Structures are given as structure tokens and as C-alpha cells.
A = this chain, B = another copy of it.
């Protein structure tokens, strides 16, 4: 089903170079420094449930495409916010997906899915309404096997290290269990404090309270609140974390005086902030987090610019992460100014920037990361984690930022089985990009081989201190 030259340029010379480069990196271990897999999978190591529950229901890429063509989330077995699902028959969900599989032509979901079907489950013919049932049966029987338990897959996927994303109030029990087990797989947490920072989060106050309870800090004061973060970061670090992650509506940062911060925090606690003050609090907290990264060495990731839960009725019925997050124009150059004036030249800070607004690639991000020692460029993100998206990323970033201000690839997925597929696409596109540079005589081929390994393996390890 999958051609060995997929994603390589059609031109014969360029394709030959791409092949040679790919041979070099194809088998390298996977570094997975950012994603949304569940640590519980690896601590419990239980077999995954039926194919639809593993591959369809939690995949917001798949859901959104089907919804866009008039298929309801109910019919796809998506539970409502109470956890109750109208469609619980995995086979029926799978059939609906298979009938509509043609919708994914031209999308990365198709690539990931075909790869997973072929290389994980041994399915060699394209999924269709006709073979939906037999493919479902094949996957079902695979999933029941020992060799398809999470740890076995982790090992089979050749994952060297995998970072999960964890609420800052999480006790990391699953991570603890993994560390204490006899399994050697390296799974580490990432400190994600949004829900204890964002005044727009419905549970902010209870999360702050939880931070206080976990650290014995007086979170009713600004300093106590900051100390609580410091201690939780230290705990995460002790459990293997090397990074924090921040998902904000914008990239806005701020640098207020302690007195101003105290006053703003008091308003946040009192629930007495307007939209502008909420934004300022988030902005200030990004700078505080950067300061703590200077102290404790945790790498900082910033994922801004997604308008979450764009449709009110879907949000009310089904909750978050159902495919209704839409990117928005982002300004980094002004937004990061306060943070960069304070910590931008400090080599102890490592801030990895992501964007959904590709116009910022050549206009803002490459120029910023191409001069500030604290900045690195995260890979093409989300909608742009795709062949053409990755190619645009390299084409628009490289000339100003070079290769060595980028942070390698991360798969950023909730869909564990798709991890190898995603790395496969990234490696192929990087080889295709480099091959073009070789045939156009911008790089010597031996340089390209070295860069290919850097992009695939070394840069991610370095950037995330893994």
C-alpha cells in the first residue's frame, strides 16, 4: 500500500539523494519530546480497547473531517460531557469511518492511517467500505495480543524517550509507577500549568488551591503562588521532567513590578478581572515561568494562537478537543518583547516557540530565533504537521534561522499507534528538503547526511535536554 519512495521528490536525481539520506535516519530511535499520550498506558500496560476507541474516537483530526461532511459526533461514538456515548458499537463506528475514508485523500491523517494499518497491523490493501469488517477484525485480534500492549509497542517503535504532558497539579502517580517498574522504557512528565494560571479556566481557583495544598505555600499571596510553582516544577524535575509547556491564546508577555503583580494576582483570586487583565496575567506568568526556567533549567515550550472551542454548542455538548480549535493570526515580535528584554540574552533559558500562523515563520520567528540565544523553533505544529506544512516550515525558516536554531521533530499526538507514522513523514520530508539543497548545490551531500541526523535525532535531544 505504501510506496518506499513516498514523499520523495519526483526528479530522479533528487530522489536518489533523498533515498540515501533517508537510509541514514530511517532506523534512528524516536525522540518524542512533546505529546499527549497517557502515562497510565505505560504504568498499567493493559491491552488497548477496540479499534474504534483507539483509532477513531479520540483523534480530533479524524473527527473534524467527518463532521465537516455532516457526520455527527454522536454517530462516531464521542461521549458527551457527562461521559455518555450514544454510539458504543466499535464496529459501527469503524464502518462509518471506512465508508468515508476517501475524504482523507490529500491529508496527513490518510498517510498516518495507511502507515499504521500496514506496518502495525499488517493490512496491505486500502481501507474501504468493502473491507471495513475484515480490517476491523484484523486490528481487534492484534490488539488482544501481548505484543500490542503499550510497553511492547513503545519498545517496538524504538522510542528512546517519550514526554507526556501533565497538569501541574498532577501527582504523577503513573510516572512514579513506571519509574518503579522493571520496564526500562523512558517516559517523562512535562509541567503544564495553564489550568492553574489562566483566569479564563473554569477551575482556576480550585487548581490554585490544590497547588497550595500540594506545596504548603500560602497561595493567597503572589510570592506564595510563585513559590508553589517553583516547588511543583522541582517535583516534576525530580520525576524526570525536562520541560514545561504553555498553551496560551496569544504570545503576549509582560514584565510588571512586584507591586503591580501582587495587585493583579489579588484581582485574579477575587475573580475580578476583565478580558484585558486576564490577558495581562497570562502574559506576566509567561515571563515568571521564563525566570523560573533560568533558575531550574526546565526548557519552556510556548504553543500560542489557537482559538479553542470555536463552536459553542459543540463545546457545551461534548467539551474540549473535538476538532473545533481554529488558529488565529499571532504577533510574536511585540508580544515577546518584555520577556526577551528580561531573559532573551540569557543562555540558561531555552524557549521553544510554536505557531499555527505560518506567516510568522519568515517574518518573525526565524528572525527572532536567528538572533536570540534563548530561542529555538519548534517544528511545524498541528495542522501544519503534514508533508506540505513541514516543507513550508523548512523553506521559510532555514534561510534566516539555519538548521541549528530548530528543535527537531515532535509528534505531539494523542494517538499512540500513529507515532512511528508521524516520525516517518517528518524524516522523509526533511530528507526531501535536504536532497533538493544537494541537487541545487547549496549543500554538499556529506553535509546533508550530517544535518539529516541532526534534524532527526540530535537537535530534539539537545533542545529538550533529553
A residues near B, CB below 8 A?
2-3, 5-11, 13-14, 64-65, 67-70, 102-108, 110-111, 126, 307, 310-314, 323-329, 331, 333-334, 337, 340-341, 344-345, 347, 356-359, 362-364, 366-373, 375, 383-384, 386-389, 395-396, 398-405, 436-437, 439-444, 447, 451
Instruction: Tell me the complex Cα distance, A462–B130, Å.
Output: 25
Find out whether the CB atom of B439 lies under 8 angstroms from the CB atom of A10.
yes
Give the distance to chain B from A212, nearest Cβ to Cβ, in Å: 36
Q: Which residues of B contact A341 (CB under 8 A)?
A: 311-313
Known contacts A65-B370, A106-B398, A404-B69; A440/B9 CB under 8 A: yes
Known contacts A328-B334, A333-B310, A363-B359; A68/B441 CB under 8 A: no
Interface centre among A3, A65, A110, A363 (most CB of B within 10 A): A363
Q: Which residues of B contact A399 (CB under 8 A)?
A: 106-108, 383, 386-389
Contact of A389 among B326, B362, B364, B383 (CB under 8 A): B362
Contact of A327 among B307, B327, B367, B386 (CB under 8 A): B367
Q: Which residues of B contact A383 (CB under 8 A)?
A: 362, 366-367, 399-400
| Top 8 closest pairs, chain A to chain B, by CB | A3-B441, A6-B441, A10-B439, A64-B371, A386-B399, A106-B398, A70-B373, A10-B11
Find out whether the CB atom of A363 lies under 8 angstroms from the CB atom of B329.
yes
Q: Which residues of B contact A108 (CB under 8 A)?
A: 399
Whose C-beta in chain B lies nearest to the C-beta of A376? B68
Find out whether the CB atom of A447 lies under 8 angstroms from the CB atom of B70.
no
Q: Which residues of B contact A437 (CB under 8 A)?
A: 106
Find out whether the CB atom of A443 lies under 8 angstroms from the CB atom of B370.
no
Q: Which residues of B contact A5 (CB under 8 A)?
A: 440-441
Give the distance to chain B from A207, nearest Cβ to Cβ, in Å: 27
Q: Which residues of B contact A370 (CB under 8 A)?
A: 64-65, 68
Find out whether the CB atom of A337 lies under 8 angstroms from the CB atom of B362.
no
Contact of A363 among B357, B387, B447 (CB under 8 A): B357
Instruction: Tell me the complex Cα distance, A400–B312, Å.
Output: 22
Give the distance to chain B from A291, nearest Cβ to Cβ, in Å: 16
Known contacts A105-B443, A358-B362, A371-B324; A402/B65 CB under 8 A: yes
Find out whether the CB atom of B107 lies under 8 angstroms from the CB atom of A369.
no
Instruction: Tell me the complex Cα distance, A402–B109, Å.
Output: 10
Instruction: Tell me the complex Cα distance, A359–B357, Å.
Output: 8
Interface centre among A323, A327, A356, A451 (most CB of B within 10 A): A327
Find out whether the CB atom of A105 lies under 8 angstroms from the CB atom of B367.
no
Q: Which residues of B contact A404 (CB under 8 A)?
A: 69, 102-103
Instruction: Tell me the complex Cα distance, A69–B372, Å.
Output: 8
Find out whether the CB atom of B14 lies under 8 angstroms from the CB atom of A440.
no
Give the distance to chain B from A96, nearest Cβ to Cβ, in Å: 15
Find out whether the CB atom of B10 lies under 8 angstroms from the CB atom of A311.
no
Q: Which residues of B contact A357 (CB under 8 A)?
A: 359, 363
Q: Which residues of B contact A3 (CB under 8 A)?
A: 441
Can you list 8 A-B contacts with CB-CB less than 8 angstroms, sorted by A residue number? A10-B436, A70-B347, A105-B403, A106-B443, A107-B399, A307-B333, A326-B367, A328-B333
Find out whether the CB atom of B367 lies under 8 angstroms from the CB atom of A313.
no
Give the distance to chain B from A66, nearest Cβ to Cβ, in Å: 10
